Amino acid sequence: MKPSLSTLHRIAWMVFFTAVASTNTCFGQAAAVGTNPKPNNNNISVLLITGGCCHDYDFQSKSMQLAAKERGVPIDWTIVNEGGKGTKATIELYKNPKWFEGFDVVIHNECFADTDDPDYIRSITKPHFEGTNAVVIHCAMHTYRSAKTDDWREFLGVTSRRHDHQSRYPVTVAKIDHPIMKGFPADYKSAMDELYIIEKVWPNTTVLATSKSEKSNDEHAVFWTNQYGKGRVFGTTYGHSNETFSDKVFLETLVNGIKWAAGR
């Protein structure tokens, strides 16, 4: 008798969680941040900050870890998932003035569009301007959207406040020789995902790839790099769906972006 689809699904997830469990990961370590968590080895030390509205952040976090492991990229992960599932929250982590210390890269995958306190936002952007490297994913571009200050948007390298519908968008590579885009397929279409409308590309941003709106035919950046003060930033507006975080090309590009941001 053949196993049911639900049984196969459970088996797949057991394999998935077992693989992730074998990675070097600390979950919810806000209290430990700022105590120089970087181990004495050549692994990339990553702080992943996640949470908020609209996405399956547990799945996304585990997918990133597994993608790095499968590609032989050694990463020590510290994961902070705070703020609930709403659109307005402050992360306890950021109250620690040394929240960023000891990490090669900070990944921002949070989604808090209605948080708008400029001092709070600058407590996040200032360390990046001073040299803390970053990766920013999907709803990070709409985080602090209500803020009147541009600090966060300049850090991201793009300004976006809305998105088009979900579709499978063709991706056109603009910088084929960039290490992040190494091996990127010329005929690639995204997994089912949203296309973020980019209102502004900031002066220190290099667009690596674009997708075209099916409504307006305008091209919008979907992968890019940004130099924010002394900090290196890699960004992508894709990352809405679990399908995207199961897509091998997307995950390969994301891992390449982590390596690039870390200077590896």
Quote the CA–CA distance of 257 and 225 in Å, as a whole number.
9
**Which single residue is written with the structure tokens 């990463």?**
75
Q: How confident is the model at residue 25 (pLDDT cuts 50, 70, 90)?
A: low
- 218 neighbors 212 (Cβ within 8 angstroms): yes
Question: Residue 116 CB: number of other CB atoms within 10 A?
Answer: 16
pTM for this one?
A: 0.88
Is the four-CA dihedral 32, 20, 193, 258 of positive or negative sign?
positive
Q: Check whether 177 has a pLDDT greater than 70.
A: yes
- The token pair that represents 137 in the structure block: 């994913």
Exposure on the CB side of residue 136, measured as CA atoms within 13 A? 33
- 112 neighbors 152 (Cβ within 8 angstroms): no
**Which single residue is written with the structure tokens 């693989």?**
19
pLDDT in tens, 54-111: 989 999 999 999 999 999 999 999 999 999 899 999 999 999 999 999 999 999 999 9
Mean pLDDT to the nearest integer, 5-29: 47
Collapsed DSSP state (helix, strand, coil) of residue 10? helix
Q: What is the pLDDT of residue 26?
A: 58
Q: What is the mean pLDDT of the chain?
A: 89
- The token pair that represents 127 in the structure block: 């360390």
What residue type is 128 in one-letter code? H
- The token pair that represents 158 in the structure block: 């793009």
* Alpha carbon distances (Å) from 251 to 34, 130, 173, 195: 28, 28, 16, 17
Enumerate residues 6+ apart whose C-beta is below 8 A from 6: none
* Alpha carbon distances (Å) from 148 to 34, 109, 142, 153: 29, 21, 13, 10
Query: How large a percentage of the chain has pLDDT more than 90?
Result: 83
Q: Check whether 12 has a pLDDT greater than 50.
A: no
Which CATH architecture best describes the domain 5-261?
3-Layer(aba) Sandwich (3.40)
